Structure 1
């Protein structure tokens, strides 16, 4: 049994795969090698799907490459537990390559929802961090931006309250 790659090795091999010429089969092979070693490494799965779609018109078996690209995308969505980027890439694939607007709509809606939730958490964390540093004015500016998109966010309201309490200490 071979040892697993370290995170540094994985990242180095992924970057090396991306450095191969875009329309060269070596890029696809390099991404496949990384996927074989670490099938849950989402950045590589996304890169593999892109590489498979590049030069599709000159591919020996375009249907097989399309199927592999879709499999890579769906695997990325699955192992990422619904992270926005893989969902967005899958939506683009379904809309532009497969011409499946109904299925693409679902992927895009899920991507938007996941991205919005992530953005809400990021804003709340940013506001709280600013408040902990006593930067209440900056925290309130960020909160104003956040409330334009998420006016009813309880997480943002709690972060603002916490930031304002931080100055009352």
Structure 2
């Protein structure tokens, strides 16, 4: 059974790769090595694709570099299970590099749906946390902002009810 690198070590190696000079290919090679060691480390896959695309015009085979960048972006989107950032990057790539607006729109739509779900959850979580601190007025201010995007959110309604309940029980 292979040994996995710790999250701290992955970040350390990624930061070292980021510090490599972009020209000359050393940064790309550092990203590639890290991708071989951990093909599911999304920040590295995104960095790899960006570095590849930045140097594609100087490459001996620009299409091979673009294909590798696309593969890294698709892997990042796949392993991140619908997280918005990799889908945004994939959408940009598909729209700008591949000139595939239909596929780009699908990626952007998925990114938007994921981002909205995260935002709704974040607003509700913030309301709950403020309620737990006895900060009902602040929780209600957050609710007001959240309702502009999520006017009928059950998650936010439940968070506000919990904040009110905690405030009345104090």
TM-score per shorter chain, which class?
A: over 0.9
Greater Cα shift, 153-162 or 21-30: 21-30
In structure 2, how many angstroms separate the alpha carbons of the residues matched to 1:43 and 1:33?
14
Q: Hey, what does 2:17 align to over in structure 1? A: 17
Q: 2:154 aligns to what?
A: 154
After alignment, is 110-119 or 54-63 more displaced? 54-63
Shift of 1:107: 0.2
The separation in 1 between residues aligned to 2:155 and 2:24, in whole angstroms, is 48
Q: CA deviation at 1:167?
A: 1.1
What CA deviation, in whole Å up to 9, does each residue of 1:16-43 have, x standing for no partner? 1111122330111000000000000000
Find out whether 1:166 has 2:166 as its counterpart.
yes
Deviation of the 1:56 alpha carbon: 1.3
TM-score between the two structures when normalised by the length of structure 2: 0.96
Within a 5 Å distance, the mapping from 1:19-168 to structure 2 comes to 19-168=19-168
Question: Residue 21 of structure 2 aligns to a residue in which SS?
Answer: coil
Cα distance between partner residues in 2 of 1:2 and 1:161: 48
CA RMSD of aligned residues (A): 1.0
**Count of residue pairs brought into register by the alignment:** 169
Moved more, 53-62 or 76-85: 53-62
C-alpha distance in 1 between matches for 2:14 and 2:128: 35
TM-score normalized by structure 1?
0.97
Shift of 1:96: 0.4
Q: Structure 1 regions of 5+ residues with no counterpart?
A: none
Residues 48-90 of structure 1, C-alpha deviations (whole Å, 9 max, x = no match):
0001001211111111100000000000010000000000000
